[in-house]
Structure 1
């Protein structure tokens, strides 16, 4: 029988799952720091709006700007590491899922990582792939997509609010504009934080399901 997505083989997702979960968890922790940093900047901008430039010392403005810049660097580094490990894990569980159910996948294997980087497509393809992998990996029956849907909803909220906040910040000309931009940035960081926590739960749950299914069946896991 010809497989629709090419040869597939089982490999343990446990090690990669743990690494990806830790990396995403660290990235979520930086989001928590970013929420505090954004609030510091929001507070400074709000006082500038209410009391004028003389009410806030220049050193305090510089401190808030330094904290915000440093937070951005830490967030970026953590996010890059997290996305790399997540994608490697995601590719692993996708191939495993093809072993469990070769005909249950609506998207080609190449979209597993590539769909995240294609505009418009990245708004729903990754979720569709995740759902197919999820269904194929359930040890018995069909599991609810509630956790996956919650993760994806907050991920999309984070994407849209992040873009809005970044654009508003670049175009800000008054302290009021800056304050409003930081409000959007804080909302984005909160959405990123929640999405990160849910992503960790998705990684751990799916990894456990695949491990249990592989160990409970007649298939051999190649490490």
Structure 2
């Protein structure tokens, strides 16, 4: 029986299943990159708060008027832009990995995924649905890949941290960089809370990627 199972797994691997290790490595690498970038941005926010609001006031003076930026403020613009770029790159790599393991889970279980493929993207941006759909997709992948195993704790940690960062993240993402600078001068705690949640969620997501990938690699006998 064990030999037959190995033959079936080998046939599935060669004919249908697609490699997942490369996507997993890319997802992990970009998660680490994004975490470091966001942590660096948080450090610049602390530097702004420590320096204090210049006598000339915030960068946005109101009525469409902006004063020249200080050297620290200019540097924050660069750091913030790099953090946004790293986060976007991370999102793309994570979604590519999620699509790949989702497809493999479909093959391994012989049953279609619980959510149609557009929800792999829409689940993150559709109001209300974003509160549970992405986690549901990850849980569904695990259950179809390893039906007899419990969902890893890392999944719940990742999702809890992500949800914790949504309120403060919405407030900061809807503001311009100059508005974020002004907030750093007056109340940096909200900004740090948002960035801390993002960094912690990125760390937890690394474990999610590693554990789900390992589950599928185990089913494939290490191939892919």
Tell me which interval the TM-score lies in, with the shorter structure as reference length: 0.7 to 0.9
1:74, distance to aligned residue in structure 2 (A): 0.6
1:208, distance to aligned residue in structure 2 (A): 1.2
CA distance in 2, matches of 1:148, 1:163: 22
Q: Are 1:116 and 1:126, in contact at CA under 8 Å, matched by a contact in 2? A: yes
CA deviation digits over 1:108-167, x for unaligned, max 9? Answer: 2332233223232222101111111112223x7222342111101111222221222455
- The reply to whether residue 77 of structure 1 matches residue 79 of structure 2 is no
Write the mapping of 1:74-223 to structure 2, written as runs, cut at 5 A.
74-103=82-111, 105-138=113-146, 141-166=148-173, 178-180=185-187, 182-215=188-221
What TM-score do you get using the length of structure 2 for normalisation?
0.76
Which residue of the partner structure matches residue 57 of structure 1? none
Correspondence for 1:28 among 35, 50, 53: 35
Q: Are 2:21 and 2:213, in contact at CA under 8 Å, matched by a contact in 1? A: yes
CA distance in 2, matches of 1:116, 1:109: 13
1:176, distance to aligned residue in structure 2 (A): 7.8
Where has structure 1 moved over 3 Å in runs of 4 or more? 102-105, 165-172, 175-178
What TM-score do you get using the length of structure 1 for normalisation?
0.77
Which residue of the partner structure matches residue 66 of structure 1? 74
Paired positions, count: 196
Q: Are 1:104 and 1:136, in contact at CA under 8 Å, matched by a contact in 2? A: no
- SS of the residue corresponding to residue 17 of structure 2 reads coil
Q: Are 1:11 and 1:96, in contact at CA under 8 Å, matched by a contact in 2? A: yes
CA distance in 2, matches of 1:18, 1:176: 36
| Structure 1 residues not aligned, in runs of 5+ | 1-7, 55-60
